[in-house]
A and B are shown apart, each in its own frame.
Chain A
Amino acid sequence: MIDVLRIVFLRDLKVSLRRWTDVLTSLILFVLVSLVFPLTLGNDSTMLLKIVGPVMLVSALLANLLAMQNIFRPDVINGSLEQLTLSSYPLTWIICTKIFSFWLITSLPLLLISGFIASSYYVTGNSILIVILTLLLSTPSLVHISALAAALTVAIRYPGALMALIIIPLSLPIMIFGSKAIEFSISGIDVSAPLYFLLGMMFFTCSLGPIVTASAIRISID
């Protein structure tokens, strides 16, 4: 089974890299959304330091929303997901691998660039590491929740804002605690409590997410 997962993983990576415009879309959206705020709100460094946490997380959420429209739909259209569902390999693990490869493609560049964005918000020193760590802990949960929303809406022709309506209520705890973590680290308070919560949410969504997503795929496809 590991061979099958490896094949699915490499194939998804290749296909996503071939659609490099999609990869760049989420990265560019992240950068643009987080740059809109200092441009429109002015250059006040205290205010920017106050909003950097929520802005980072909201930009990550929006980039996710846009990128995850494409995780399952092309494979449903070309029939490969149906074949994988019908095969004797556990769909949960296959979905987990797909989501992991998608996370690598869409969210890993976000992590790398978030340090630079944070420093443009006048964040210094240790807090930049905390920003990167917060995004590292929150993006897997966001990706799993978005994959669930994508699986539920994959059979709909024009989903519109339905994915957003499903993702945003479910991801609000992650956004709240992630912003708190960044805010605490900037003010110098001990940051471990929100980070532990984010870690817990990550374990919760990464373990149960693929199971629910797999059943959603099964429901939507056949």
Chain B
Amino acid sequence: MNFKSIYKLGSPPLFYKLCIALEPWFLISSILLIAVGMYSGLFVAPPDDEMGDAFRIIYFHVPSAYVSMMAYVYMGAAAIIGLIWRSNVAFSLAKSCAPIGASFTFLALVTGMLWGKPMWGTAWVWDARLTSELILLFLYLAYMMLHLSIPDRAKADRSASLLAIVGMVNIPIIHYSVVWWNTLHQASTISKFAKPSIATEMLWPLIIMILAYTLLFAAFLSKRTAAELAVREKRTRWIQTLILGDKSNA
């Protein structure tokens, strides 16, 4: 593993150019995969025995829940790296993860409610998994509000990063809540070691949608991180030459 190349990622010009270059690829590939996944999930996959056609919400609910948790882990990891190495790149990444993660958490909660109403008869129930997902939404909002409220940017970065790291205890709670407690929310269908408990024709659109949502998250993240890095580094020469270059081209 080449540590030097990882260390180079901490340089703002390199990371900015990487984000700008990768973003179109992420966006286009994710749109293609979403189109394929949505078509096969909504029309091709056979209806479930007990749930009928309502199970198709799984193709929107599970990917957004997965990305919501993954975004928080990325935010926490970026926060740790930023705190240890005082890196602008890491703090920009953490700050950009928050609004995207919050919107995916909101999506997970709303699609879950739309699924729960026909299935369980109630849109909401205060069991462990739903409550901890709601806590995740509040943690994202608290991070964003804390970052906005502190005027000095370096202080805001570091305080908010502390909050993100403290909130990371919630992620194992969400993930293992269906294992530890007897909840209304069903157990995991996909696990790393066991054979998935879902039929194959229903499984592969789900995998495609999870991949698509992850790539979409990467696209949004690159765009926002590039935006954040540009404004943080506005006094440096590299961003000014980059923008001047764009001006002369446009």
Q: List A residues at the B interface (Cβ < 8 Å).
A: 148, 152-153, 155-156, 159, 162, 165-166, 168-170, 172-173, 176, 212, 215-216, 219-220
Contact = CB atoms under 8 A, between A and B. Distances in A.
A219 B135 contact: no
Contacts of A215: 162
Interface in B142-198: 142, 145-146, 149-150, 152, 155, 158-159, 162-163, 165-167, 170, 173
A11 to B, nearest CB: 26
B162 A170 contact: no
Interface in B111-160: 131, 135, 138-139, 141-142, 145-146, 149-150, 152, 155, 158-159
B159 A216 contact: yes
A162 B149 contact: yes
Contact of B142 (A162, A172, A176, A220): A162
Contacts of B162: 152, 212, 215-216, 219
Q: How big is the B interface, by class? A: 20 to 34
A interface: dominant SS: helix
Of A148, A169, A216, chain B has the most CB atoms within 10 Å of the CB of: A169
Interface of B: 131, 135, 138-139, 141-142, 145-146, 149-150, 152, 155, 158-159, 162-163, 165-167, 170, 173
Contact of B131 (A172, A216, A219): A172
Contact of A172 (B135, B150, B163): B135
A152 B150 CA distance: 10
B9 to A, nearest CB: 25
B159 to A, nearest CB: 5
A162 B135 contact: no
B112 to A, nearest CB: 18
A176 B134 CA distance: 14
B147 to A, nearest CB: 11
B146 A152 contact: yes
B166 A212 contact: yes
B151 to A, nearest CB: 8
Nearest to A159: B149
A42 B173 CA distance: 37
A166 B162 CA distance: 12
Contact of B138 (A169, A219, A220): A169
A104 to B, nearest CB: 25
A169 B141 CA distance: 10
Nearest 3 A-B pairs (CB), nearest first?
A: A169-B138, A219-B158, A169-B135
